[in-house]
Amino acid sequence: MPPPKSDVLPIRSGDDVVRVRQATRARAIEIGLSLVDQTKIITAASELARNTLDYGGGGEVAIEVVQAGARRGVRLAFQDKGPGIPDIAKALTDHYTTGGGLGLGLGGAKRLSNEFHIESTPGVGTRVVIARWK
Amino acid sequence: MDRIPILKLGGALIVTIQVDMHDRLAMALEEDLTNRIVSTGARGVLIEISALEIVDSFIGRMLDNIAAISRVLDAETVVVGMRPAVAITLVELGLTLTGIKTALNVERGMALIQARLDEDGDLGNARATSEE
Amino acid sequence: MAIDGTQVLVRTVTDDEAAILESWLTLLKSGGSLQTGRIREVELQAQARTVFGQLRDALASGESDGHAASYEALRETLAEISRSRAIQGFTPTDTANFVFSLKEPIFTALNKASGTDLAALTAGTQTASRLLDGLGLHTMEVFQTSREEVIGRQSQEIAELSTPVVQLWDGILALPLIGTLDSARTGVVMENLLQAIVDEEAEIAIIDITGVPTVDTLVAQHLLKAIAAARLMGADCIISGIRPQIAQTMVHLGVELNVVSKATLADAFALALRRTGRTVVRRAAPAPITLDERR
């Protein structure tokens, strides 16, 4: 079996957010996600990329195609070296925001994904992993 | 920097979003539209988004802002042509854009704006609208 | 020096090929697969010959690890056989036995070939056991995967079949929901409805829940999401067919549906017509109903 494809993209500017969306779309189409599922994972990617940029001070994302049995999926791992999130449960509630946004980023991305993991250490950084399965 | 063109048609401003929106473009549109509403005295803003493959919370917020700003400036915003997949995703995301009027396509959207213009009698021939 | 089980096995399989194959075929024939009528004897024999031939060739490379490159062709053939059996509706036991029933003939042959050399017999048996177990598990894995694919496709088909969107009038759609609404099904329902709204350029969609047995908080949430999504696209929804018990349950559960709702589909349709600027008028007195019709 060929090794799973993995792209690592930097997230340093607003244009990078667009590039993350495009790369996510390419992978979603490659594994044959339905149009709605494609839209969901691309939107989740967009939310998290912007979080990484706005709150994490930039970082990177690894996008890969994953396989479990007959199912294929897209997995994205966002990583930043920002200030971290002191209270993850609070950050996940809707409309909670420290910036000027609507505060739907984390909770929204979680609802749009089949898998969602978050680890954060204040002062060290944050890592968010999401996946959408076919 | 490229900008999204704004067309004026009667008392309405029309915007068709054809590109993958990046954040600067969205912010520029918000600003341009605000200026144009004031300079033209437009009473309606129609934003056509059938080419948009995603609307995330940032673009959603931009649409919300435009609607709120135009309300303050006495104009009505109608968003038309949202794709089904985008609508489902927005609802899942938690954005229902309750402050924005919506319509299926440009024709229906223009009819909504026209109804408002007629109500105001801006065109001088206030046609009787049966309901709403 | 330790005796190489692979060597023993290779020698036995090559020397005793005809006897092993014949004995395997006999076992396969007496096994359950043929009785079910799902496969013909000729086909079963052809499959057995191919598999055995590929096993012999793979062994000839001196390798007894089923994952090795020399077993690629054999693994492919077994996968193919498993897939077709999964689709034809074979039981897992039948499918697994296809490979496992090869053990007995090979063990017999090993026994015969080794004579009194107990060490060679043990080594050969262990190697054969490990190899065939591995190949058997491989067929089971493919079998399982194929079954899952079949089930997945079927549930998708059921979901699609059970959610028709019908056009009542120009610009007015109805979605008669029947049965329990879970998340997966609601997803399909929602997509169908929204796509139909685009296709028919519908302004109003009536969601009729007469056929939905219960409306709990979750179902209500699903409905509200569909309605919110339709609104984003510029279409209004009306809910109809909330039965008395359901209305009671909803109130007791504290479920709120903040949408326009009507008791029957007919009421909802009348409202939809009115909203789109139409009225229904009776043009003449109703024709007298004959006794036959009344019955």
Pick from C95, C71, C51: which is nearest to C6 by CA? C71
Contact residues, chain B, for C233 at CB < 8 Å = 82-84, 87, 102, 104
Q: What is the 3-state secondary structure (H, E, C) of B37-57?
A: HHHHCCCEEEEECCCCCCCCH
Residue in chain B lying closest to C225 (CA): B91
CB pairs under 8 A between A and C: 7
Considering only CA atoms, which of A45, A82, A90, A48 is closest in space to residue A64?
A45
- Flag whether residue C79 sits within 8 Å of chain A, measured between CB atoms: no
C203 neighbourhood in chain B, CB within 8 Å: 104, 108
**Band of pLDDT at residue B126, cut at 50, 70 and 90:** very low
Please report which residue ranges of A31-124 form alpha helices under DSSP H: 35-54, 88-92, 105-111
CB contact (8 A) between residue C191 and residue A69: no
Residue C71 tokens, joined: 């077993």
pTM here is: 0.71
CA distance B59 to B80: 15
pLDDT at B80: 96
What mean pLDDT is reported for chain B?
87
Spell out which residues of chain A touch residue C191, defining contact as CB-CB under 8 Å: 36
Domains of chain A: which residue ranges? 6-133
Which member of B54, B83, B84 has the closest CB to residue A43? B54
pLDDT at B132 over 50: no
> What is the predicted pLDDT for the residue at B131?
38
Q: Which residue of C has its CA nearest to B94?
A: C225
User: How many percent of chain A have pLDDT more than 90?
Assistant: 59
Given this model, what pLDDT does residue C203 score?
A: 93
Q: So what's the pLDDT on residue C88?
A: 82
C149 vs A contacts (CB less than 8 Å): 70
Query: How far is it, in rounded angstroms, from Cα B13 to Cα B46?
Result: 6
From the list C202, C42, C184, C23, the residue with the least C-alpha distance to C107 is: C23
Q: Is B51 in the A-facing interface, judged by CB distances under 8 Å?
A: no
The pLDDT of residue B78:
96
Alpha helices (H) along chain C: 5-15, 17-30, 32-35, 41-60, 72-88, 92-100, 103-114, 118-161, 183-200, 217-233, 244-253, 265-275, 291-294
Query: Which chain C residue's Cα is nearest to B129?
Result: C277
Against chain A, the chains showing at least 3 CB pairs within 8 Å are B, C
Architecture of the domain defined by A6-133: 2-Layer Sandwich (3.30)
Q: Which of B 39-98 lie inside 8 A of C, CB atoms?
A: 79-80, 82-88, 90-92, 96-97
- The answer to whether C53 faces chain A, any CB pair under 8 Å, is no
Whether residue B22 and residue A104 make contact (CB cut-off 8 A), yes or no, is no
Residues of B in contact with A22 (CB under 8 A): 20
Q: C201 — phi, psi (to 5°)?
A: 50, 50
- DSSP state for residue A42 in the 8-state scheme: H
C56 CB-side CA count, 13 A: 17
Across B82-103, average pLDDT: 92
**Mutate: best of A37, A71, A111, A134, partner C, most C CBs <10 A:** A71
pLDDT in tens, C265-291: 999 999 999 999 898 888 887 777 766
Distance (Å, whole) CA A106 – CA B23: 18
Would you say C217 and C185 are in contact if contact means Cβ atoms under 8 Å apart? no
Residues of chain C falling short of pLDDT 50: 1
Over the stretch B20-60, which tens digit does the pLDDT of each residue have? 888 888 899 999 999 999 999 999 999 999 999 999 988 99
- Token representation of residue A31: 């594994």
Please give the mean pLDDT across all residues of chain A: 87
Contact B104 C235 (CB under 8 A): yes
- Beta-bridge mates of residue B101: B78
The length of chain B in residues reads 132
Name the pLDDT band for A18 (thresholds 50, 70, 90). very high
A85 CB within 8 Å of a chain B CB? no
Question: Is some CB atom of chain A closer than 8 A to the CB atom of C191?
Answer: yes
Neighbours of chain C (3+ CB pairs under 8 A): A, B
Q: Which residues of C touch B88 (CB under 8 A)?
A: 190-191, 194, 225, 229
Pairwise CB contact (< 8 Å): C148 & A36: no
> In the beta sheet, which residues pair with residue B45?
B13, B77
Q: Which residues of B are less than 8 Å from A15 in CB distance? A: 22
CA distance C150 to A70: 11
Confidence band for B105, pLDDT divided at 50, 70 and 90: very high
